[in-house]
Structure 1
Amino acid sequence: MTTTVPARIEYLPRFQAQRRILIVLIAAQVLSGAGLAAGVTTGALLAQDMLGSTSLAGLLSALSTAGSALAAIAVGRISQARGRRLGLAAGYLAGAVGSAGVIAAAVAGSSVLLFIAMFVYGAGTATNLQARYAGADLAAPAHHARAVSTVLVATTLGGVVGPNLAAPTGDLAHTLGIPHLAGPFLLAGAAYAIAALVLAIWLRPDPLLLARALETERTAAAYAQPGDADGRPRRAAESRRSGVLVGALVMVLTQLVMVAIMTMTPVHMHDHGHGTAASGLVIAIHIGAMYLPSPLTGWLVDRYGHLTIAAASALALLTAGIVAANAPGDSVALFAVALALLGLGWNLGLVTGTAIITDAVPLATRARTQGLVDVSIAIAGATGGMASGLVVAAAGYPLLAIGGGILALAIVPAVVAAARGR
């Protein structure tokens, strides 16, 4: 009895704090999901309309994801130094500022201002992804994937609602004298601003700072012990580096493939006569598939391991590419199926990669490392967004979809090799 009671006393506040933190993160993610999805729905169409070029339609997505790369570094460093609360709130506030800039650019007809604003708008995307790490800060190691998935699934509600408000917000924008395609950014700006406010006020205690304090107390005695002479610290460091590389690779490939196909699907549908309502529905289904399976994905990763779920991610992305490439131009249903599979593959890869990173990195450097990993993810997204328009202009949408699916298969040998190395 004397050995179990102190443990219960020690962990009870941690569990209570984790529940409160997850509730606050869920509220913020619902809001930020709406902001994220709203921009995705019409961003490429707005660029095509203002630039008059399909080949440059992916440029806006590329700038947004490039901005998210810079934001990932900033959010990671602020979180490392001052905690998740300030880091995440600052990122969402920047996303709100970027949304306002996009609206101003559309009103002024300025492509330069549009590019700058979309770069800043990317901070919202980076912060939405960084929030998943906050959910795992206080979670037990065996439950890291489930904690991450809890935060991710909260994005579903906003992510599904946001694209379906594309037409109504477009009408509202027209009433206010704003171009129709810029309407969803009204929703994005408001959603990001409120998410920042929610986190700034209610994300207390800060999950990273509390986890770091608890870790310091727990390991204080261990630091006083003699060093390990059999090489285990060195092997542990090598294992951490390997884990970071593998986790980053899984997420980079899934992000690149997902962004490339997702960015050009609304443009491809528009070229075949579909309106914003149809493309909004497809993107809503896609966003739902990106986040809604998260609880199941988290359980699967914790239960069956990283290798199995990473391979499932690659197969889902390949199937998505095949369906998208063969979908008739007039078939909204098949585009919806393709993007649902695309979202599912991304979800499997993101949860798996995040769990690998969280397991591999100690709390002392966790936020900074996570921020740097998300930079590579953002760069991959920028590459996919930029290349997507060029590939479609040169070779067509089907080749883009098939090529992305094949590229995703590189996940499997990479994870298998890492597993054998361990």
Structure 2
Amino acid sequence: MATDLTTPASAPAGVAPIQRRTLRLLFSTQIIGGIGVTIGIAVGGLLAAEIAGTAVSGLVLSAAVVGAALLAVPVTRIVTGHGRRSGLAFAYGVGAVGGALVVLAAATRSVPLLFAGMLLFGGGSAANLQARYAAVDLAAPDRRARQLSLIVWATTVGAVAAPNFAALAGRAGGGWGLPPLSGPFVFSTAAFLLAAGVLLLRLRPDPLLTARRLAATRASGAAHPAPSIAAADPAAPAASPVGAAVPVPAEPVAAPAPPARRGAGLRAAWPVVRAQPAARLGIAAVAVGHLVMVAVMAMTPVHLRDHYAVEDVLPVVGLVLSLHIAGMYALAPVVGWLADRFGRRPVILGGIGTLLAACAVAGTAGHHTPRLTVGLVLLGLGWSATMVAGSTLLSESVPDAIRPNAQGLSDLLMGLAGAVAGAASGFVMELAGYPVLTLLAAVAVTPLLALALRPVRLGAPDEEDRASCG
């Protein structure tokens, strides 16, 4: 049975109310941030085509993906030194600056400013990705995947609601004398600022700092009185969600990781991840699942364009991609429950099988749109399984002090994998076509399958082998 490196065998009773409050805050800000990201991305390609031309519009959108990946580095440093609250608020703040720059670029028709704005706009995506990790800091071991998946699922609400605001935001932008396509980015900027403000004011006590304090208390074996939240953090609510003071160990004013590790940033995570088989599997599952999903999804509209008239393709693309997004997010709580009930590794293996099935179905669909739609839904489900189970497995497979670094490394690799997949898929599509693209995507899953099937030595931190996970 593996040793759990991040969560105590028993935690103070007051942790549960803090976790419920944290989940509610993360859920609400995830919806707000999801609206901000989706409404901007929805019109970003159109705005880029209008300012810079169709040929470079894809590169402009890729800038947001690269920006989200690169921002994992400073966000991880902030989270490591100051907690989730500061890191998430910083990421949303960067996204807000990016949105404002995009509005300015639209008004001045400046292509360099547009690229810079979209690069920083990726901060919104970075915050949405990092939020899922904050959900597991204080989660009970047998509920980690479900609570992480709940925050992933909240993205669905934002993604569904965002298109309903796009037209309204466009009209509002026109009323303010701005180009209509810049209006949604005004809305995105406001959404990111709102999410940052809510987190700064309300995410108290900070879940990561509280988890560190608990771990330090257990490690020292000290038995000292546990003050209430108000004593731990003057800015925190004086009472718990159920109306009573919550006894928890005091949240320190500064609870950084060990100085050497804090200074090393993401570099400190790599030796730890490399030494832990379960952590390697978790980080690989997230990165490979994202790579396959982006590669196939990005070229599906182009593939459909070859089989439909121009006036008919947009509704079809909209329907196929909407169902794909539903596959990614709508069943995330079910995936989380399965990961808690049956283990992280079985769900990752299920996700791998689903990704392979998706590539086979989509790659052989030809012009049969219903079959292609099934392939894209399976693609979303496979991504969801590798994302939820892989993120949970990574989080619980590394020591508490290095966990934010490992999570930041995972997001960096995931973002870079998606950016490479998006860029390379266009060339593959042009040279060899959609069926070959799906075949290569399936081949890319093979190393992950080998890693997931590799026997784990006794004593290796592999959470799904624990009795509590069934």
Shorter-chain TM-score tier: 0.7 to 0.9
Q: Is 1:41–1:279's contact at 8 Å kept on the other side of the alignment? A: no
The match for 1:341 is 378
For residues 19-59 of structure 1, give each alpha carbon's deviation from its aligned partner in whole angstroms, at most 9, with x where no partner exists: 000000000011112223234434445445544455x5542
Over aligned residue pairs, what C-alpha RMSD do you find? 3.1
For the pair 1:41 / 2:42, whether they are aligned, the reply is yes
One-letter amino acid of the counterpart of residue 412, structure 2:
V
Give the distance between the partners of 2:9 and 2:59, measured in 1 at CA. 53
One-letter amino acid of the counterpart of residue 378, structure 2:
L
For the pair 1:290 / 2:328, whether they are aligned, the reply is yes
Q: Is 1:44–1:263's contact at 8 Å kept on the other side of the alignment? A: no
The match for 1:376 is 413
For residues 171-228 of structure 1, give each alpha carbon's deviation from its aligned partner in whole angstroms, at most 9, with x where no partner exists: 5555655555555434432322221111111111100011111111112139xxxxxx
Greater fraction helix: 1
Q: Give the deviation of 1:382 after TM superposition.
A: 1.4
Distance of aligned partners of 1:267 and 1:209 in 2 relative to their CA distance in 1, 3 Å threshold:
same
For the pair 1:200 / 2:200, whether they are aligned, the reply is yes
The match for 2:450 is 413
- Structure 2 residue matching 1:11: 3-state secondary structure: coil
Give the distance between the partners of 2:106 and 2:93, measured in 1 at CA. 20
One-letter amino acid of the counterpart of residue 158, structure 1:
G
The match for 1:138 is 138
Match of 1:319 among 353, 357, 369: 357
The match for 2:87 is 87
Q: Give the deviation of 1:87 after TM superposition.
A: 0.6
Give the distance between the partners of 1:329 and 1:99, measured in 2 at CA. 38
One-letter amino acid of the counterpart of residue 109, structure 1:
R
The match for 1:249 is 284
**Which segments of structure 1 move beyond 6 Å, counting only runs of 4 or more?**
none
Give the distance between the partners of 1:318 and 1:116, measured in 2 at CA. 36
The match for 1:75 is 75
Count of matched residue pairs? 401
Give the distance between the partners of 2:183 and 2:341, measured in 1 at CA. 43
Alignment of 1:15-414 (within 5 A): 15-53=16-54, 56-163=56-163, 165-167=165-167, 169-170=169-170, 172-173=172-173, 178=178, 182-221=182-221, 241-266=276-301, 268-269=303-304, 272=308, 273=310, 274=312, 279-327=317-365, 331=369, 336-414=373-451
Q: Give the deviation of 1:157 after TM superposition.
A: 0.4
Q: Give the deviation of 1:284 after TM superposition.
A: 3.7
Instruction: Give the alignment's TM-score, normalised by structure 2.
Output: 0.76
Q: Give the deviation of 1:339 after TM superposition.
A: 3.2
Distance of aligned partners of 1:307 and 1:86 in 2 relative to their CA distance in 1, 3 Å threshold:
same
One-letter amino acid of the counterpart of residue 81, structure 1:
G
One-letter amino acid of the counterpart of residue 115, structure 2:
F
Q: Give the deviation of 1:265 after TM superposition.
A: 3.6
Give the distance between the partners of 1:100 and 1:276, measured in 2 at CA. 29
Q: Is 2:335–2:384's contact at 8 Å kept on the other side of the alignment? A: yes
Task: For CA contacts below 8 A with separation 6 or more, give which structure has more relative contact order.
Answer: 1
For residues 126-159 of structure 1, give each alpha carbon's deviation from its aligned partner in whole angstroms, at most 9, with x where no partner exists: 1111111100000122222122112111111002
User: Which sits farther off after the overlay, 390-399 or 91-100?
Assistant: 390-399
Give the distance between the partners of 1:146 and 1:326, measured in 2 at CA. 34
Q: Give the deviation of 1:394 after TM superposition.
A: 3.3
Q: Give the deviation of 1:320 after TM superposition.
A: 2.9
Q: Give the deviation of 1:119 after TM superposition.
A: 1.1
Distance of aligned partners of 1:93 and 1:238 in 2 relative to their CA distance in 1, 3 Å threshold:
closer
One-letter amino acid of the counterpart of residue 296, structure 2:
I
Distance of aligned partners of 1:166 and 1:326 in 2 relative to their CA distance in 1, 3 Å threshold:
farther
